Amino acid sequence: MSDDDEDEWLRNFLEEEERLLTKGDELQKLSVIGSLPELLKYDQKGTVSKIIPKIQQELPNSSSEFNLAVSRMFNILIHMDIPVNLVPQILQGIDNRDPMISNAWMETLLAVIPLLKEQIVKNDILKCAIAKSQLSKAAYFRVSSCKILGEISVHKTMNPFEVKKDVLPLVQSLCQDCFFEVRAAMCRELPNVAQVVTMVLAQIPTEVSSKWYHTFKALAADPCYIVRRAVANRFSDIVRILGPSNKIVVIDFTKLLRDEDEEVLQALIPNVANIMELFTATNVLQREIPVQATLDIGRAMLKCQNEAFRTNNWRMKECLLMQWERLPNCFPSDFIHQHFSPVVLNATIYGKAKPVRSQAARTLLIILKYSLKENHRKWIREMIQTQLCNAPCCYSRQVYITLCTHAIDIFSWGYFKEYFYLPLLSLAEDQIAIVRLSMVKLCPILKQMLNLPADRALQLKLENILSKMEMMEADRDVIMMLKLKLKEMRTIRNIKSEVLVEDRRRADEEDRILKGRFAGIRIGPQIDSDLGRDTTDKQPTISVTKSAIPKQSSTSSSASKRAAAATVNHTPSLMPFLDQHFYTDAGVALPQDFGDSSYRDRDLKTPIRTSTEVTKLIESAENLTSWLDEISMADEAGRFQENIEARAIKLEEKDMIISVENINPAETLTENDIKALATTTTNMTDELKVNIQHVAEAAKELKPKMKRNSCYSQAGNGRQSAYMFQEI
């Protein structure tokens, strides 16, 4: 095709497009609008001179679909920098009575303001914003003015002094508007205005900056929750923009934390950690010593927690606990342990929603990791052991397994093996199948973290437990999972180099903190071998360092463990008066258990479960008398205790022969215990086997009467029992 023919074809095509815009139906008009970018490529001059003016002519009386399509197309055309001023049509569209059309044109205007020239912004856009901000206009127009002023304030051609002169008075007026929708809209644009105002704080009069702060303060305390919610949404931006001057908004931050409206807290809580770290960066908060801001924000934070946990919004509770992971970056260690550790522990133990308890467990580990005092760390570990791992409720024991998965991501493998490995293995003998199932899922990673030959004892312990489960497990789901994990452990691949590097980095970081060279909590990659645990929905790992904790040998005798437990230095039994005053000011009340001496001074030794003692009986059936010398059968909680020496009980030979008729073994032996005695005990006479069968039958008859809640283990029965067998 020759050039003349091509020009003729383009001319005819543009005429056809122009005809369709004038006499065509709705679909044909929308097709022409959609083809504008292509038309500009072929014939920009003809399109600008014929097609675009025709579109502008059709706009006032067109349909909603036509306006929406043209508003999107004008946005594209302005970004293409065509030589046409489309702003008048955009401003005209904003005044449309149809809210849908007006919103579409407003979005277009806000999107193109940064691309407009200085003359258009000052002569057209700013004048439009001033006109719409008048009190004589409807509230909807004043809301539009707020959005326009926010974009104008950060325009590249606007001088800060021009913003102070032309924009700031309008902003202050709109912040004091009688309609809460206008005040809330202006709050959303305050970070843009503050970004310019803070550049000239040193040059403008003091009364201007004071007036600006009082305006913001009034919005933060606005009687309408929608306005306060808007302030809460942008509060972190305000604190960041203020920089070294952000101390003036601390009191507003504490007021928002104490707000009783759920929506305000829901808007503020996701930004709490960022706000506090910004305060720390400007020395408003200090990590070494508590200052006045520490006390004020601490009280407000506890009040916020109290209000959040009164609601049914578990996502907000989880988010608040997630923000508390970064408390060690902002508060002193003693302050965190004294006021936040009991609260987080309480949420871990008594939280209702599973995600809340999981996040509380993770936050508790972060606090444990960064606690600087040995008695603080020991108290947290003891509470984890007694209130979760050895809890009578199976849900709490399940939370302990979840806590261990977080501990693998937070601590180095050495720390985990020292304080979490053996208690986790003990749950393989739990009476609830789901607890055993969850523990089995972690077996591959437990094997992978072992470093032979140093961890030979832990390896043997793990292999013995898995072998016992393989022989004696009765639950179908646990058996299937066990077979799957055993197969996975036999074909385990080598540890990736990056996993070892990350573990080494964590260990080095723990050593540096041990020497007092802590540089703050660091978000780092997870140690993830893709073994033994679900890797979906992972959270960023908080990498902190290990505190000064003396290592203990895993092969120490039971006597040495009892001696160590007897020398535990517990925290003071009663809460000091100043602490009570702190919580009273915060408006919260902690559970009495955490301040009760009986709660902290209770026996913290790990209870011995019945199934463990059955294993000992199987291994030493030939010497039953010596086995009885090591175990006391009369504990108030119905649990076996290794304290026969302390009680000074002397068992005579005649006392060791007790007939089954003297007690009711069906009340003391579980089905697994009876099965273990009947199938695996060696050197047993036929009479003794018959005796065991009678016990099993009696247990079956008694079982409907003794049916207990499956959420609780047999260790929590609380009845005194003793059982021995007499050979007939």
Residue 564, in any domain of the structure: no
User: Do the beta carbons of residue 239 and residue 279 sit within 8 Å?
Assistant: yes
Same domain, 327 and 257: yes
Strand partners, 541: 524
Angle between helices 292-308 and 314-323 (to 10 degrees): 160
Residue 481: give the domain boundaries: 419-519
Q: Is the Cα torsion angle 363, 366, 368, 372 positive or negative in sign?
A: negative
Which contacts (CB < 8 Å, 24+ apart) does range 34-37 have?
34/69, 34/73, 36/73, 36/76, 36/77, 37/76, 37/80
End-of-domain residue from the set 223, 257, 278: 223
Same domain, 215 and 339: no
Query: Three-state secondary structure along 22-67?
Result: HHCCHHHHHHHHHCHHHHHHHCHHHHHHHHHHHHHHHCCCCCHHHH
Place of tokens 């009034």: 218
Q: What are phi and psi of 405, to 5 degrees?
A: -65, -35
CA 333 – CA 254 distance, rounded (Å): 21
CATH code of 363's domain: 1.25.10
Residue 454, in any domain of the structure: yes
Same domain, 283 and 154: no
Position with higher pLDDT, 719 vs 331: 331
User: What confidence score (pLDDT) does residue 191 get?
Assistant: 84
Least confident stretch, 399-403, 525-529, 685-689: 525-529
Same domain, 254 and 354: yes
Same domain, 311 and 438: no
Contacts of 554 (CB under 8 A, 6+ apart): 422, 457, 458
pLDDT digits (tens, 9 = 90+) for 507-566: 887 777 777 666 666 544 444 444 334 433 343 333 333 333 333 333 333 333 333 333
Same domain, 324 and 246: yes
pLDDT digits (tens, 9 = 90+) for 3-20: 566 667 667 777 777 788
* pLDDT above 60: residue 443: yes
* pLDDT above 80: residue 658: no
How wide is the angle at C-alpha 509 spanned by C-alphas 504 and 514, nearest 5°?
Answer: 125
User: Do the beta carbons of residue 315 and residue 357 sit within 8 Å?
Assistant: no
What are the C-alpha distances in Å from 618 to residues 151, 468, 684?
79, 12, 11
Q: Are strands 541-543 and 522-524 parallel, antiparallel or unpaired?
A: antiparallel
Which contacts (CB < 8 Å, 24+ apart) does range 717-721 have?
717/638, 718/636, 718/637, 718/638, 719/638, 719/667, 720/634, 720/635, 720/636, 720/638, 721/633, 721/638, 721/663, 721/667, 721/668
Q: How many structural domains are present in the chain? A: 3
User: Do the beta carbons of residue 714 and residue 649 sit within 8 Å?
Assistant: no
CA 677 – CA 692 distance, rounded (Å): 8
Residue 702, in any domain of the structure: no
Same domain, 366 and 460: no
Nearest CA-CA partner of 139 in 184, 72, 77, 89: 184
End-of-domain residue from the set 223, 250, 277: 223
* pLDDT above 70: residue 697: no
Same domain, 247 and 181: no
Same domain, 429 and 470: yes
Residue 79, in any domain of the structure: no
CA 635 – CA 649 distance, rounded (Å): 13
Same domain, 246 and 219: no
Residue 494, in any domain of the structure: yes
* pLDDT above 50: residue 256: yes
Residue 290, in any domain of the structure: yes
